[in-house]
Chain A
Amino acid sequence: MPEPSTLTFPVTREQLASLRAGDEVLLSGPVYTARDATHARLVAETDAHGGVLPYGLEGQTLFYAGPTPPAAGRPAGSVGPTTAKRMDAWTPALLSAGIVAAIGKGVRSESVREAFAATGSVYFAAVGGSAALLATRVSASTFVAYPDLGTEALVRLDLMDFPVVVAIDSCGDDLYAQAASEWRHALAGLESATPEGSSR
């Protein structure tokens, strides 16, 4: 297995084009937290401004996350991915407006997979349930907008070597759609190579 590659935001879609579903990547640089309520407002503001993203989000990456308050000397005590599928209703509009990547967890709808491919954008998956570890890879937190939303506010987080896996690449290949069947096939190969059966 190759070592993870590194990527520093902000990035262009050209830089994202070489990534493939299943690649492990360490992310650095700024990302912007956005959950359900944030998405609704971002799309409304973008629509109100003739399709232009607010808050300088053009070319930036969204992180589907709502952190816990600062703790242990870190900007967030805990911060990990929330379920990406809940953002599906708003994602195609935001990708069209200029968001180039997103970080979350779990499967997306078919139309959202197509939207990532059509715009050359990338969906990264982080490991859900590892938010204490992931918080050690966040160096700064800067409030941007929507203070009334609490943990759902739009916040800039600066990442350093934040571990993710490419879940949907710019060609539309989907890690979640392939991972289970690929492992079952790999296992069938392993087991047929060991006549006495699995070593498990």
Chain B
Amino acid sequence: MIEVAAIADAVRRAISLAAVELRPDALSAMETALGAERAPRAKRVLEQLIDNARIARTDRVPLCQDTGTVWVWLELGERECLSGDIYAAVDAAVAEAYRDGALRMSVVRDALTDRANTTDNTPAFMDITLRPGSGATVHVMLKGGGSDNSSVLEMLEPAAGIQGVRELVLRTVSAKATGACPPLVVGVGVGATFDKVALLAKKALLRPIGEPSADSAVAAFERELMDAINASGIGPAGMGGDTTALAVNVLSAPCHIASLPVAVNMGCCAVRSVSIDVG
């Protein structure tokens, strides 16, 4: 049995941490990129981003003014049960963390009919899945609008093959990188169904930068995409240079014989996520 209050507490702590502390893997990747970067302006942009991470961490202020929508992915051990209304508890945690952390309220009531701000950054966007065993893991991501807006989903035909996937990723980066705050973490989902492929791309952003796919063929594809993106010259902040992406993370899955679903979810240079084990 896991109390919903324990999950809510994890969400609250994760938001407070993610908003002000750059992911250690992102900071480390940025420092490595600065050492390798050859374009003078790009070096200055990377220095500015590293300095930004230091200021945010020291002064406990948000890394980015867009403190995002909150995505919560709760992985629940199959032997557990939850007491109480998890959705209400998580929303209350989001409201509290955004108010107490002086974060920005960036959610409107209804995309189509009522674009008034909800004033507490709720609702959270939540997925709950089961996994073997006991306990739970709470993954929390604060997703900025600029990077999410730069994302795409296309239902390719199987004939397009891996070349089609490559072209879609490179075309998306080329067209949209400057609004997504490079250097990017590019999350790519391939397979599943129309609704599920976007979640694959988003989950790919949780994998630490520098950790390749466990599947060697997928890992090779990731390296190939990364090299092509960084050869584009787009660079940090889109102002030219070697460092356009810090990582390309690909997650693939089974799909229909007729389909090749592909989603690209952009992660920005202030990619923000924290995962906490509960119970």
| Known A82-B66, A127-B49, A200-B36; contact A72-B179, beta-carbon cutoff 8 A | no
**Nearest-CB residue, chain B, relative to A85:** B179
> A179–B52 contact, CB under 8 A?
no
Stretch at the interface among A6-14, A49-57, A116-124, A181-189: A181-189
- Which residues 58-102 in B have Cβ within 8 Å of A in the complex? 59-67, 102
Q: How far is the CB of A69 from chain B (nearest CB, A)?
A: 4
Q: A132-B52, A180-B235, A200-B38 are in contact. Are A107 and B63 (CB under 8 A)?
A: no
Query: Which of B151-159, B216-224, B236-244 makes up part of the contact surface?
Result: B236-244
Known: A125-B239, A133-B51, A176-B238. A72 touches B119 (CB 8 A): no
Q: Is the CB of A29 closer than 8 A to any CB of chain B?
A: no
Mark out the residues of chain A between 121 and 138 whose CB falls within 8 Å of any chain B CB in the assembled complex: 125, 127-136
In the bound assembly, the distance between CA atoms of A178 and B94 in angstroms comes to 42
A151 & B115 in contact (Cβ 8 Å cutoff): no
Choose among A107, A127, A135 the residue that contacts B48 (Cβ–Cβ < 8 A). Answer: A127
Tell me, in angstroms, the Cα distance from A70 to B49 when the chains sit together. 21
A95 close to B (CB within 8 Å): no
A165 close to B179 (CB less than 8 A): no
What is the interface size of chain A, counting residues whose CB is below 8 A from a CB of the partner? 55
Q: Are B115 and A37 closer than 8 Å at their CB atoms?
A: yes
**Across the interface, which residues of A come within 8 angstroms of B213, CB to CB?**
none
Decide if B181 is an interface residue (CB 8 Å cutoff): yes
Of the candidates B44, B52, B117, B178, the one whose C-beta lies within 8 Å of that of A107 is B178
Fill in one digit per residue for B35-63: 1 if any A CB lies within 8 Å of its CB, else 0.
01011111011001101110110011111
Which residues of the partner chain A approach B135 to less than 8 Å between Cβ atoms? Answer: none
Across chains A and B, which 7 residue pairs bring their CB atoms closest together, nearest first? A179-B240, A128-B181, A106-B179, A180-B233, A132-B56, A183-B240, A77-B61
**Binary contact track A153-165/B, C-beta < 8 Å → 1, others 0:** 0000000000101
* Chain A positions near chain B (C-beta within 8 angstroms): 1, 22, 24, 37, 65-72, 74, 76-80, 82-85, 105-107, 125, 127-136, 148-152, 163, 165, 175-176, 179-184, 186-187, 190, 200
Please measure, in the bound complex, the distance between the C-alpha atom of A179 and the C-alpha atom of B38, giving whole angstroms. 14
Whole-angstrom distance between the alpha carbons of A181 and B234 in the complex? 8
B104 at the interface (CB under 8 A from A): yes
Indicate whether B138 reaches chain A with its CB closer than 8 angstroms. Answer: no
- Does B104 lie within 8 Å of A132, measured CB to CB? no
Q: Are A78 and B62 in contact (CB under 8 A)?
A: yes
Q: Nearest Cβ in chain A — how far from B38, in angstroms?
A: 7
The answer to whether B237 touches A128 (Cβ under 8 A) is yes
